[in-house]
Structures are given as structure tokens and as C-alpha cells.
């Protein structure tokens, strides 16, 4: 199976590192024109310059946007879609701060809702008109295995990501007649800066070392290791391709088998 995404335009959020970077790199390898979106322009410039180029027509770009400032984000993303059309949308953002449910207030949940839900909804709504007119499109939501079983110390993420799953499942049924697919990837533990930060937070809260927490995490995973960002990119590229044309409304675990143990 060879995935060809030549002439396809993709927009990938939070893509200068971790899972977002893994997705952007794989889409570029498959021939897509990739626009990466994040808040740090210097990192964006460096990352875009490193993306694979597999054809003369292929061109990569970047978009500076801060997901945590919804008012500013809304203006930036609206301006982007006035001048650009995309075939592949990867909704991915940075995660909210960790913490227990008893430590969070309503303002914390509102901020998390703006970050994880409103940015995804806004971007998707702007991408859909062109996809509907064209009669095809791919929307991929980077979600979490926490929608199946809440993860300790991630009260904000656990709560809001479940709302995104319900919303996207509802929307997928509405747009399926236009050959637009919407799928969610339920992320397990990957070897990324975000996961390392969460392990550091857990180590501080529990009083044990980061190394011990990582070892315990790996032991719980049937494959006995954390995932690699490029492995995430492989699944995203498949979902973005014609091979996945009949797959929509799905929430696919990508966690080394851990979901099977719930």
C-alpha cells in the first residue's frame, strides 16, 4: 500500500514537536502540501524548513496562532481560510494544565473548553464549506484514551476531550454524504515532551522519580514501551488517504494495546 497525497493541502495544529510533528512529517512524505500551525514563529520556521519535499510542486507553509487565546485564534484562523482551502484538517492543540478535579474551578474548565473544543469547532466549521463544495475531505482529531477511562491528574483534558468526541461523531453523520470523513485518534502514551512534562508533574505530586513513573507506565502497556510520533503519523496518513474513504465517525485507540486492559 502506497499512500499518495500529492496536490492535497493539509493543515496540522501544534505541529512543531511531538505528535503534531510526527503527523506533519508523514503527510509531507506522502506528497501533501503541509501548513503547520503553532504559536512560536521561530520554531515554525525551523520545522517547515525541515519538512520533506518529494515533488517540485510541493510547498510547505506555517501559520502563527496561539490556541490558548481563543479571541486572537478566531481572527487568525478566519483570515487564513479567506485565502486558503484545505483537503486535510488535523485538529491538534497543546494540552491544558494537569491537576486533580478537586483543584480546578469553573474558570479552569472554561479555559480548557476554549482550548480543546472551541478551537477545534471553529477551525472545522471554516474548513467544511470548501470540502462540501468539492465533495471530499478528511478531518482527523487528535484525542486521548482518557475518553474511555479518565487519566489521573488530567481532569481538564478528561472532561473536554469527551465533548469533542461526541460532537465529532454527530458531525461525521451529517457530512458523510459529501464524502467527508471525521475520525478521532485516541492517543495513548507517546514519547513526547508533553508526556515527559506530565510525568514530571506526577513525580512531584507523588514523591517518586520520573524514571520510576516512566517504568510503571511502560509496564502497564502490553507492548512495554511508549509510542513513537512517526507511528502516529502513519495512522494519520492512512486516515487522510483514499484508502480510508469508508471509515468515518470512528474513535481509534493508538496506545500499544493499553485500551484493551480497561
Domain with residue 51: its CATH number is 3.40.50.720
| Judgement on whether residues 101 and 205 belong to the same structural domain of the protein | no
Domain count, the chain: 2
The residues that bridge with 186 in the sheet, in sequence order, are 143, 253
| Judgement on whether residues 215 and 164 belong to the same structural domain of the protein | no
pLDDT for 99-137, tens place per residue?
999 999 999 999 999 999 999 999 999 999 999 999 999
Q: What percent of the chain has pLDDT over 90?
A: 80
- Residue 122 placed within a domain: yes
Q: What is the pLDDT of residue 260?
A: 53
Look-up: residue for cell 481563543?
A: 70
| Judgement on whether residues 69 and 92 belong to the same structural domain of the protein | yes
| Judgement on whether residues 109 and 67 belong to the same structural domain of the protein | yes
| Judgement on whether residues 118 and 23 belong to the same structural domain of the protein | yes
| Judgement on whether residues 58 and 151 belong to the same structural domain of the protein | yes
Spatial separation of the C-alpha atoms in residues 120 and 95, rounded to whole Å:
13
Residues of the chain with pLDDT under 50: 261-262
* Containing structural domain, residue 217: 191-226
Q: What is the pLDDT of residue 196?
A: 82
Spatial separation of the C-alpha atoms in residues 98 and 156, rounded to whole Å:
7
| Judgement on whether residues 64 and 180 belong to the same structural domain of the protein | yes
Spatial separation of the C-alpha atoms in residues 77 and 126, rounded to whole Å:
8
| Judgement on whether residues 217 and 145 belong to the same structural domain of the protein | no
pTM over 0.75: yes
| Judgement on whether residues 84 and 206 belong to the same structural domain of the protein | no
| Judgement on whether residues 133 and 247 belong to the same structural domain of the protein | yes
Amino acid at each position: 500500500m502506497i499512500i499518495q497525497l500529492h496536490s492535497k493541502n493539509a493543515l496540522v495544529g501544534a505541529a512543531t514537536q511531538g505528535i503534531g510533528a510526527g503527523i506533519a512529517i508523514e503527510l509531507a512524505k506522502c506528497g501533501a502540501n503541509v501548513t503547520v500551525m503553532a504559536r512560536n514563529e521561530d520554531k515554525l520556521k525551523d520545522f517547515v524548513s525541515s519538512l520533506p519535499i518529494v515533488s517540485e510542486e510541493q510547498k510547505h507553509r506555517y501559520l502563527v496562532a496561539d490556541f490558548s487565546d481563543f479571541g486572537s485564534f478566531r481572527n487568525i484562523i478566519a483570515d487564513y481560510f479567506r485565502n486558503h482551502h484545505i483537503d486535510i484538517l488535523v485538529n491538534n492543540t497543546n494540552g491544558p494544565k494537569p491537576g486533580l478535579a478537586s483543584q480546578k474551578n469553573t474558570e479552569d474548565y472554561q479555559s480548557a473548553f476554549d482550548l480543546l473544543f472551541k478551537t477545534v469547532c471553529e477551525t472545522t466549521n471554516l474548513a467544511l464549506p470548501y470540502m462540501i463544495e468539492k465533495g471530499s475531505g478528511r478531518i482527523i482529531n487528535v484525542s486521548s484514551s482518557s475518553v474511555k477511562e479518565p487519566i489521573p491528574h488530567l481532569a481538564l483534558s478528561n472532561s473536554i476531550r469527551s465533548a469533542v468526541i461526541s460532537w465529532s461523531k454527530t458531525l461525521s453523520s451529517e457530512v458523510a454524504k459529501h464524502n467527508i470523513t471525521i475520525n478521532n485518534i485516541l492517543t495513548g502514551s507517546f514519547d513526547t515532551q508533553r508526556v515527559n512534562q506530565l510525568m514530571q508533574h506526577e513525580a512531584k505530586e507523588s514523591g517518586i522519580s520520573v524514571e520510576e513513573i516512566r517504568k510503571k507506565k511502560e509496564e502497564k502497556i502490553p507492548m512495554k514501551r511508549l509510542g513513537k510520533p512517526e507511528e502516529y503519523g502513519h495512522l494519520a496518513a492512512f486516515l487522510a488517504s483514499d484508502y480510508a474513504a469508508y471509515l468515518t465517525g470512528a474513535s481509534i485507540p493508538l496506545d500499544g494495546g493499553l485500551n484493551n486492559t480497561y
